[in-house]
Amino acid sequence: MQLEGKVALITGASRGLGRAMAIAFAREGAALALCARGEKALEQVAAEVSALGAPVLAVPADVRSTRDLERLVALTLDRYQRVDILVNNASESSGRRPSPTLPTTRRRPSTTSCRSTWSLRSG
C-alpha cells in the first residue's frame, strides 16, 4: 500500500475521475476527505471507500464558494490534522465543445478549477 498514513483531499469526488481516484487512493491505504455539491452521490462514494477500509470524511461543498472551501479545509484539519495530497479535480463539463460564440461554456470550467485550486492552496 503506497499511500498508507497519507491524507488525500479530493474535490469533485462524487463521480467520474474524482470517484475513481478516491477508490484507487483508498485501495492504497489513504485516508480521504471528499467533496462535491451533490450530497447523495458523494455519500455513495464515501460508503464505497469506507467499505474498502479507508477512513473517509464527505463534505458537501461548492468549490466556487470561499465559505464552503473554508469549511471543507477546517473539517478536514479537524479530522486529520493535515493534508498530504490535494487533488483539485472538481470542474464542470459543459458537454459541449468550447465555442467563441458561447463564452460562458469556456469560462465556467476554468473559473471553477482555477479559482478553487488557488483558494485551497493558499487557504
Ligand X SMILES: NC(=O)c1ccc[n+]([C@@H]2O[C@H](COP(=O)([O-])OP(=O)(O)OC[C@H]3O[C@@H](n4cnc5c(N)ncnc54)[C@H](OP(=O)(O)O)[C@@H]3O)[C@@H](O)[C@H]2O)c1
- Contacts with ligand X by CB under 6 A lie at 11-18, 35-38, 41, 61-64, 89-93, 109, 112-113
Closest-by-Cβ residue to ligand X is: 16
- The CB-of-26 to ligand X minimum distance in angstroms stands at 16
Which helix (H) or strand (E) segment is 32 a member of? strand 31-36
d(CA 83, CA 78): 11
Nearer residue to ligand X within complex by CB, 98 or 103: 98
- Dihedrals phi, psi of 120, to nearest 5 degrees: -70, -35
Nearer residue to ligand X within complex by CB, 23 or 61: 61
Nearer residue to ligand X within complex by CB, 81 or 121: 121
- The CB-of-25 to ligand X minimum distance in angstroms stands at 15
- The CB-of-36 to ligand X minimum distance in angstroms stands at 4
Instruction: Label residue 111 exposed, middle or buried (CB < 10 Å: 0-12, 13-18, 19+).
Output: middle
Looking up cell 447523495, which residue turns up?
40
